């Protein structure tokens, strides 16, 4: 069972320290959210799982961590300055402003007037300035996607790693979009994180690799605990494709507010590397690529057989961390009416806390000492955060850890002091069992196999 409403989910997120409205003591800012003690762990676990699957479990992808501040030239030649916008209309009557898709039968949703301006493009990129002088020469953008700095670093990575095609560069990091109407909790926000892979292939093999990455990413979300029945592939129509894309398939998820994009997998062709390359005359590249004399580098590779240089094509799986977190929270949310509890049945590798160690009696020195010993032993296994709960109320602790998705609770009692056995309680089955010290380690490790 998933959560019934977004409100139900948002309320658990606030109550248990996953997600807070940002700047809320000053009334909050729309489209900005902060991640609390549990949220930051869940987010980090999701990112780590992606990083592992992209970099550690494969041998053809390198990592990157590039800057958020981006020179205007990069976003000019990527096409974002001209095309990264939403159409806006103003109501001449009540002065309100709307995106075209918000209009109600071509009239203002607020006052119903049909006296509207023609749509004008509103660029979604945030601007800032670099250095002490705030003029046009100093202006920079906060990146709207992490991808562009992957393209500008293409040659740096290639030359420093001796990679040959096909290979990829992966990056996780913040992206900023001045969304006109942020909405649906953390689904559409103005500051978010992306997990992006740019996978470079030979032109001609791009369709095949595109299909490969669509399948691979779809299955990865299932491995994170999303039920296949709430996932769907959607082929983006030609007239809705981004300016750089030859083909895009979106992975759609049924969020509490409806079915929407969780991740997009685009065939960006040679558009980006081509547009960031100088002297394009030397290459046989697509007509969509923009002319660029300012760049200092040819972002190309050489065909070792015929010695010709060419610009690789790129396949881009791009996933939003926040949308991933929202989908996973929704999937995991369960109301167990029989036992009057709410459970977050997250897969253990994603759980914010991996195990809670609870001394039966609060502040009892011997019990707390032993609980600390167990905590540090499990902590050293390096599988994530272990919490010590010195509050004495076992029932309350179980409830709290069910709600934040802790797979395992370990209780230390007076019997422990005699024979070193502890009681372990499984989140999902609520089954309790008495185990000794060696068994405990094995029991814990089993959750992560
Ligand atoms: P949408 O059509 O929903 O605006 P998009 O197609 O513009 O999304 P992309 O540019 O393909 O999105 O970005 C890749 C991923 O980044 C998306 O699949 C999504 O998970 C995430 N993302 C994009 N915009 C936002 C946003 N405003 N808030 C949260 N996540 C976002």
> Does the beta carbon of 80 lie inside 6 Å of ligand 1?
no
pLDDT of residue 109: 92
| pLDDT tens profile 275-293 | 999 877 777 888 899 888 8
> Does the beta carbon of 217 lie inside 6 Å of ligand 1?
no
Q: Which atom of ligand 1 is nearest to the CA of 177?
A: 27
What Rg, from alpha-carbon coordinates, does the chain have? Answer: 26
CA–CA dist 412, 420 (Å, integer)? 9
pLDDT of residue 3: 67
Mutate to test the pocket of ligand 1, among 101, 236, 237, 261 (most ligand atoms within 8 A of CB): 261
pLDDT of residue 211: 98
Residue 226's nearest CA partner among 130, 317, 328 is: 328
| pLDDT tens profile 8-45 | 999 999 999 999 999 999 999 999 999 999 999 999 99
Tokens of 143: 């990146």
Contact 20, 38 (CB under 8 A): no
Tokens of 163: 């990679």
CA–CA dist 311, 145 (Å, integer)? 21
Atom 11 (ligand 1): residue with closest C-alpha? 264
Give the number of other CB atoms < 10 A from CB of residue 69.
13
Tokens of 44: 């980090």
- Architecture of the domain spanning 353-447: 3-Layer(aba) Sandwich (3.40)
Nearby residues of 398 by Cβ (< 8 Å), 6 or more positions away: 409, 425
CA-based max dimension of the chain: 82
> Does the beta carbon of 359 lie inside 6 Å of ligand 1?
no
Residues in the chain: 449
Question: What totals of helices (H) and strands (E) does the chain contain, helices first?
Answer: 13, 24
Contact 117, 97 (CB under 8 A): no
Domains 6-84+129-330 and 353-447 share a fold: no
Atom 6 (ligand 1): residue with closest C-alpha? 264
pLDDT of residue 40: 98
Domain range annotation of the chain: 6-84+129-330, 85-123, 353-447
CA–CA dist 238, 246 (Å, integer)? 8
Question: Phi first, then psi: what are they for 71, rounded to 5°?
Answer: -65, 140
CA 320 – ligand 1 centroid, Å: 6
CA 196 – ligand 1 centroid, Å: 11
CA dist 292 → 277, 282, 286, 313 (Å): 6, 13, 14, 18
pLDDT of residue 1: 63
Which stretches of the chain score pLDDT less than 70? 1-3
- Architecture of the domain spanning 6-84+129-330: 2-Layer Sandwich (3.30)
| pLDDT tens profile 93-128 | 998 888 888 898 899 999 999 999 999 888 999 999
């Amino acid at each position: 069972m998933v959560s019934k409403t977004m409100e139900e989910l948002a309320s658990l997120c606030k109550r248990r320290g996953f997600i807070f409205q940002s700047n809320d003591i000053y009334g909050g800012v729309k489209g900005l959210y902060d991640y609390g003690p549990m949220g930051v762990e869940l987010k980090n676990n999701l990112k780590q799982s992606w990083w592992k699957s992209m970099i550690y479990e494969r041998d053809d992808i390198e990592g990157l961590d590039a800057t958020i501040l981006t020179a205007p030239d990069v976003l000019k030649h990527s096409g974002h300055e001209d095309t990264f916008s939403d159409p806006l209309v103003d109501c001449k009557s009540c002065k309100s402003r709307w995106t075209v898709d918000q209009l109600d039968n071509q009239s203002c949703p607020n006052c119903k007037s049909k006296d509207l301006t023609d749509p004008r493009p509103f660029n979604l990129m945030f601007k800032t300035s670099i250095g002490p002088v705030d003029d046009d020469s100093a202006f920079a953008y906060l990146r709207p996607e992490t991808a562009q700095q992957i393209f500008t670093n293409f040659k740096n990575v290639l030359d420093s790693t001796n990679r040959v095609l096909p290979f990829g560069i992966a990056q996780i990091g913040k992206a900023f979009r001045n969304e006109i109407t942020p909405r649906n909790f953390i689904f559409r926000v103005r500051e978010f994180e992306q997990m992006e892979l740019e996978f470079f292939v030979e032109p001609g093999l791009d369709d095949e690799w595109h299909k490969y990455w669509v399948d691979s990413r779809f299955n990865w979300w299932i491995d994170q605990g999303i039920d296949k029945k709430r996932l769907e592939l959607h082929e983006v129509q030609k007239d809705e494709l981004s300016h750089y894309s030859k083909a895009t398939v979106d992975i759609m998820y049924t969020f509490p507010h409806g079915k929407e994009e969780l991740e997009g997998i685009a065939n960006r062709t040679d558009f980006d590397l081509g547009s960031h390359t100088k002297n394009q005359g030397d290459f046989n590249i697509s007509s969509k690529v923009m002319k660029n004399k300012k760049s200092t580098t040819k972002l190309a590779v050489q065909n070792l057989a015929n010695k010709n240089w060419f610009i690789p094509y790129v396949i881009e799986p791009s996933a939003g961390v926040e949308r991933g977190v929202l989908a996973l929270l929704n999937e995991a949310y369960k109301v167990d009416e029989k036992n009057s509890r709410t459970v977050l049945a997250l897969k253990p590798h994603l759980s914010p806390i991996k195990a809670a160690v609870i001394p039966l009696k609060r502040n009892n020195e011997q019990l707390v000492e032993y609980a600390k010993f167990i905590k540090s032993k499990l902590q050293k296994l390096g599988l994530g955060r272990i919490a010590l709960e010195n509050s004495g109320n076992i029932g309350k602790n179980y409830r709290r850890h069910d709600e934040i998705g802790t797979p395992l609770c370990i209780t230390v009692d007076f019997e422990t002091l005699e024979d070193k056995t502890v009681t372990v309680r499984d989140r999902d089955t609520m089954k309790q069992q008495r185990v000794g010290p060696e068994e405990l380690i094995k029991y814990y490790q089993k959750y992560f196999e």
